[in-house]
Amino acid sequence: ALSVTILSSPWALLDSNKPDQEGPNVFIVEARVTNLGPDPATNLEVSLNYDDAASGWILLDGELPNRSIDTLDVGPGEAYYAYWFAQYPRQIGSSHQYTVTASADGVAPVSTSTNYYDDNLLPQDKTAQTKSYVSAGNSGITAVFSDVVVGAIFSVVIDYDLGNSPQGVQFSPVGNDDFNAASSQLLTAEVTFYNGSITNGLTFNNQLYFATVPQVGGSTAERAEVTYYFLPRTISTLRMCSYAGVEFTTSKYDNEYCDEPAGTVIIIDFEQSISLTKKASSPAVLQNETLIYTIHYTNQGPSNLALTWIWDQIDDALVTVLTDTIEPPNNQSESTDSLIAWNIGGVPAPPDPSSSGAVTVTVLVDGQETDIPDGTEIVNQAFVGFNLDGLPSEPAFTSTITTTVLAPSVELTKSDGLNSVEPGAAVTYTLNAINSGSA
């Protein structure tokens, strides 16, 4: 059995003075999925039913509602955390219900719309509500990479002054609705609370909302350091405006939110480091012959790459995959008759010998028992991408190769060489066959 818990903030933060113009309108939807046993859950799927376009509650552009992993082991320590970037309307007091559903092979789907932190604060049957915050808090970006390699996990570290005796707090790495959600995936987050001169903080993993700010050294924490870990998935330039919403008698958020002169706008350039080369065993082929496709990949450095996928798009109208030739074994749950997917995982930087590798597959050019015309091109595309949750929706890099089918193209003509013939006379017909094809 599976258990699903919504761990998002119940409050969607809006500026108290100009909610329709200033301040954030993006927050993190977070869900935890736990396998209650007795066996590991395979092909876990987690989906978010969030969008209500008419009222302005929608996933951020480029964000996908579905998440998946191959296996979730039994026990609370093996929980899977899913994060989504979601927008909300710029109208204070707007409430919304969204639902998270988890399913796996042989396991009944389980859903919830209940916010774990809703202690009768929200309207009945609602999961979140927009709330007014005053722009008066303080924050500072303490560490971020300016140049990031696609596929290499990077972190953003932000320090927040929570003020004296804060009651509750929520954190979000993104509040700006022009954030490119397709290009970068939030993997996990770590929050460490500090107090005064105490250097040993109290750390929480995979938790971005705190209904009650914890105590450190016997009194309520006054500072928090938040580390966000991202996976860059495609070449792009990322713009991030993070924030914290702190609960007092009057709720507050960063007074320099998304302020470029103040240095609170994070700009990150994603660079390409992996190369992909697709080769075929022959530039031309006859029908009913085989083709061997080889995809070479290389991490050119300097960073180790993570969560790497390679997939090969096959034209299954022209060829049939010989599944026993796939090397290394492909990911069955993400593969189809026309797509072969390999979950490569980590690819270290050079000089590690594993910084380069290859995958191969053999196909039979059979035309699915239909004659293939001479000169037909078999177009084959290979892709590399990066994603935690199954096959990436967008590739980081593509390589294409074309093979030409050689086939006969025969024209038959028949002639008797006569203009007329007498009754009873013998007639001899001549058949001519002209092959203008390539085989």
Scan for tokens 């998946």, then name that residue: 68
- Using an 8 Å Cβ cutoff, are 229 and 168 in contact? no
Q: State yes or no: pLDDT of 419 exceeds 90.
A: no
Of all residues in the chain, the percent with pLDDT exceeding 90 is 77
Q: State yes or no: pLDDT of 431 exceeds 90.
A: no
- Using an 8 Å Cβ cutoff, are 134 and 16 in contact? yes
CA angle, 174 then 389 then 264, to 5°: 15
What is the value of pTM for the model shown? Answer: 0.88
Confidence of residue 437 (pLDDT cuts 50, 70, 90): low
* Separation between Cα atoms, residue 182 and residue 60, nearest integer Å: 9
What pLDDT does residue 410 have? 61
Q: State yes or no: pLDDT of 61 exceeds 70.
A: yes
What pLDDT does residue 417 have? 76
Confidence of residue 200 (pLDDT cuts 50, 70, 90): confident
| Residue 64 burial by Cβ neighbours in a 10 Å radius (0-12, 13-18, 19+) | middle
What pLDDT does residue 412 have? 72
Q: Rounded mean pLDDT of 114-122? A: 93
Token pair, residue 145, equals 């990479």
Q: State yes or no: pLDDT of 322 exceeds 90.
A: yes
- CATH code, 2-271: 2.60.40.680
- Cis previous bond, 173, omega within 30: no
- Using an 8 Å Cβ cutoff, are 137 and 246 in contact? yes
Confidence of residue 147 (pLDDT cuts 50, 70, 90): low
* Separation between Cα atoms, residue 316 and residue 333, nearest integer Å: 18
For β-strands 215-216 and 252-254, DSSP reports them as unpaired
Of all residues in the chain, the percent with pLDDT exceeding 70 is 96
Q: State yes or no: pLDDT of 144 exceeds 70.
A: no
* Separation between Cα atoms, residue 352 and residue 55, nearest integer Å: 52
Q: State yes or no: pLDDT of 438 exceeds 90.
A: no
HSE of 50 in the Cβ direction (CA atoms, 13 Å)?
29
Amino acid at position 89, single letter: P
Q: State yes or no: pLDDT of 76 exceeds 90.
A: no
* Separation between Cα atoms, residue 82 and residue 28, nearest integer Å: 10
- Using an 8 Å Cβ cutoff, are 274 and 393 in contact? no
* Separation between Cα atoms, residue 240 and residue 422, nearest integer Å: 94
Confidence of residue 31 (pLDDT cuts 50, 70, 90): very high
Confidence of residue 145 (pLDDT cuts 50, 70, 90): low
Q: Rounded mean pLDDT of 102-129? A: 95
What pLDDT does residue 165 have? 86
Q: State yes or no: pLDDT of 259 exceeds 60.
A: yes
What pLDDT does residue 157 have? 92
Beta strands in 176-283 (DSSP E): 184-195, 198-205, 209-210, 215-216, 219-220, 223-232, 237-240, 243-247, 252-254, 266-271, 274-280
Closest CA to 146 of 30, 240, 45: 240
Q: Rounded mean pLDDT of 56-80? A: 93
For the segment 266-289, what is each residue's pLDDT rounded down to a tens digit? 999 898 899 999 999 999 999 999
Q: State yes or no: pLDDT of 365 exceeds 60.
A: yes
Q: Where are the domains of the chain?
A: 2-271, 274-406
Q: State yes or no: pLDDT of 148 exceeds 60.
A: yes
For the segment 204-249, what is each residue's pLDDT rounded down to a tens digit? 999 999 999 999 988 999 999 999 999 999 999 999 999 999 998 8
Return mean pLDDT, the chain: 92
CATH topology identical between 2-271 and 274-406 = yes
- CATH code, 274-406: 2.60.40.1530
- Using an 8 Å Cβ cutoff, are 192 and 203 in contact? yes
Q: State yes or no: pLDDT of 375 exceeds 90.
A: yes
